[in-house]
Each structure stands twice: as structure tokens, then as C-alpha cells.
Structure 1
Amino acid sequence: MTQVKKTRSELKREAIIAGALAAFQQYGVADSSMDKIAELAQVSKRTVYNHFESKEVLVAEIILAGWEKRTAVHDVVYSAEQDIKSQLTLLLTDEVELMADTEMMELIRIAMAHFLFAPEPLQSKMAKMFEQETLLKRWLKLAMADGKLKPLDIDFAHDQITNLLKAQVFWPQLLRQTAPLSVGEKQHLVEMTVGMFLSYYQV
């Protein structure tokens, strides 16, 4: 298979993102200037601005790119022939692993203070990430259409599930309140969440 050669522009964009990540990790988002990012990326500041109109956009783009990269590897699809409990268990296991991803969590952590003090420039970019139709939403739609789940509000049901997971495997770790969950603890969380959800919604 022939490998597609990256353009000079694509290579510079990647260098800028790498430089920004290094700057954010070393200095924090608030204290990372576009000059410092350009220096670490070994490009001119003008080149940085040609790719990213502001530091806020750069922060959001990095997190969005990381999110999309990690969600792309999850390919669970609905099957009318398979037991829905086992399908949902597999799907939520993937969701938990995604939420617990240490690199993504670190990206969000180092950007968090900046989000709190300068939210408006980031809102449109971050909204794109949270508005995406996830695998879980697609699975819920297909399971409901197949008559395996009661009629439900997909967005509400999706949030019910993900909020149960995030309360244990994402927010406490993001805020450094608790250590990452063990394999056994993750498995228990998934089993309990699947059981609670299907006890109400399964036909």
C-alpha cells in the first residue's frame, strides 16, 4: 500500500501542535505564548497564526483532535442477533477506557484553568466534540428501532449512562481526588451501569 506523503503545511501543523503540547505541559496554557509555541515548533509566529487564529483555538483543536483519534478506534456496532446485555457491556467497557485515557485526561487537565477564565472563544470548538453522534447513541437508536429497548429520549438516555460512568472513572481522576480505577473496579462499574440501565429500558 502506497503511503500518502504529507504536505509541507500538514507537517508544519503537526509541529505546531507538538510545540503547543510541550509548552502547555511545561508552562501551563495561560503562560504559554504564541511566541513560545512557535519557538518550540521551530516555525515563525506568523506560521502559527496561519494555522491557528488564536491560542484558544489551538487548545480546542488539540483536545478535539485527541478525542477524535481515540474514538476512531472504537468500532462496536449493534447486532440484532446478539444479546443486548453483552453488546452494551462491551460498548461501555470501551467508553470507560476512553474516559480513563491518561493522555486525553492530561490534555483536559492542563487546559482546565484556561477554560474557566476564557470560555467563550473555546465554546464553538468544544461544542463540536460534545455534539458528535457517539457510538453509544447510534447503538441506542438501533436497539430501540429493533424493539429491544423501550421508546426513549436518546440524548437523555445517553447522558444517564455516561454520567454514571464519568462520576466514577473520569471526574474524580481528572481532579486528582482518587487514583485511577483498577481493571476489576472498571468491570464492576460497567456491570452495575448495564444492569441499572437495562432493568428500566429493556423490553
Structure 2
Amino acid sequence: MNAPLKLTDRKRQAIVDAAIAEFRATGFEATSMDKIAATAGVSKRTVYNHFPSKDELFAQILHELWSSTAAMPPPPYDPARPLRDQLHQLLNNKMDMLQDGYFLDLARVAIAEAIHSPARAQEMVARLTEKEEAITTWLRAAQADGQLTRADPVLASQMLQGNLKTFAFWPQVTLNQPPLDAETQRKVVDATVEMFLSYANATA
């Protein structure tokens, strides 16, 4: 059982949550530290004690976005397990991350700011790209094992993740649609796996 957060940690998290809400509502540039303090229910001095600048607060949001993805690394390729089963596990893990409400809130803020100020979000984009490289590494291992006879690992990785995001990320981030229900998640993962195996001439 996790220990309860200390008061200072609760205030820090309240500030981050308030910043996410305000950045989503009005954008980074239009959001003031005063407004963040009011939304968090703390003093402006408390906000600055935790985050000396708005840029550092935004950097914390990007850090949490990265941490939420890094916390769920894909399992390594296992030559003893059927490829289809491993793909299902791989994509189900990815689906769980994409449909997490906190992750989606963080992504909305980061992507919106990346559009308005690409330089500010360069680190986030680079680190998320690095994270998605793990699936490419998994595909290379499967190909080396003779399980994928025609798929280019980089292209295949983009196809697999892009298909999930078409249904389970971009509509939620850009159109504020609700997360997919469990049955729809299952259908999207199942269809993605079967289409990929057909494309890759895989031995499932």
C-alpha cells in the first residue's frame, strides 16, 4: 500500500494538475501563474516555491508525460511464444497507455504547445520517439528469428502504433472524444494484429 503523500507533495501535484487544466483551457502563453495558483487553491508564492517559472512548470508536465510512457516498457521478444500472442500483449499494453485519462490530458497540453512553440516541445517529441523505438526493436528481434519475412521494422512499427492512435489517441486528444470502451479496444487490437500478420507474411 502506497504511503499518503506529504502536504508539500499534494500541493505540488495540485499545481501540476491546475497547470494542465489551464494550459488546456487557454494555452501556455495566455495562462498566468496567478491563475494556476487560484485553480490549485494555493498561494502564488507556493507555486513559485515549487516552480520558479512557467517554463519549468511546463517542463514538469513533459517529464510526467515521459514517465507515464516509460513506466510501461514493452515486453522483450520471446522466440518460444507464438507471435500472435506476443503482438496482442504488445498492443494491449500500448492501448492501456493511450487510453489512460491522465496521459491523454498531458498529451493534449504537450501537443497543443508543440504546435504553437515547437522549440519548447522538442525534448518531449524526441523522448517519445525514443520510447516508440522499443516496438521497432521488438520487431527487429522477431524478424531476426525468421517470424516476419517481409516487414520493414521501422515502417511496421509506425503502422502498428499508428493504427491504434487512429482510433484510441487522436480522436481523444484533438476532438475530446471519450476513451474507447473495452469491447472496442479489443476489436481495434484484434484487427490491427490480423492485418499486420497478413501484411508481414508472418508465421503466427
TM-score range, shorter chain: 0.7 to 0.9
Map residues 66-81 of structure 1 onto 2, 5 A cutoff.
66-81=65-80
Secondary structure of 1:43's aligned partner? helix
Find the aligned partners of 2:152 and 2:45 in 1 and give their Cα distance. Answer: 49
* Distance in 1 (alpha carbons) for counterparts of 2:10 and 2:168: 30
Paired residue for 2:152?
Answer: 153
Residues 124 and 107 of structure 1: CA distance in aligned 2, closer, same or farther (over 3 Å): closer
Cα pair 1:23 1:40 within 8 Å, conserved: no
Alignment of 1:129-168 (within 5 A): 129-150=128-149, 152-168=151-167
Per-residue deviation, 1:58? 3.4
Consecutive unaligned residues in structure 1, runs of 5 or more: 4-10
Aligned length: 192
The TM-score normalised by the length of structure 2 is 0.76
- Over 3 Å counting, the alpha-carbon distance change for 1:132 and 1:177 in structure 2 is closer
In structure 2, list runs of 5 or more residues that go unmatched.
none
Distance 2:33 2:176 in 1: 32
Cα 1:159–1:133 shift into 2, 3 Å: closer
Distance 1:115 1:147, change over 3 A: same
Moved more, 54-63 or 161-170: 54-63
| TM-score (structure 1 length as normaliser) | 0.76
Deviates more, 1:32-41 or 1:87-96: 32-41
What corresponds to 1:117 in structure 2? 116
Aligned AA (1:139) = W
TM superposition shift of 1:147: 1.1
- Aligned-residue Cα RMSD (Å) equals 3.2
Offset from partner CA, 1:103-161 (integer Å, 9 cap, x none): 11112224444332222222234322222354422321211111111254322211111
Q: Equivalent residue for 1:97?
A: 96
How big is each residue's C-alpha offset from its partner over 1:47-82, in whole Å with a ceiling of 9 and x where there is no partner? 623xxxx53453244134233234423452211111
CA gap of 1:74–1:46, structure 2 versus 1, over 3 A, is closer
Deviation, 1:198, is: 0.9
Identical aligned pairs, as a percentage?
A: 30
Structure 2 vs 1, CA of residues 40 and 95 (structure 1 numbering), >3 Å: closer, same or farther?
Answer: farther
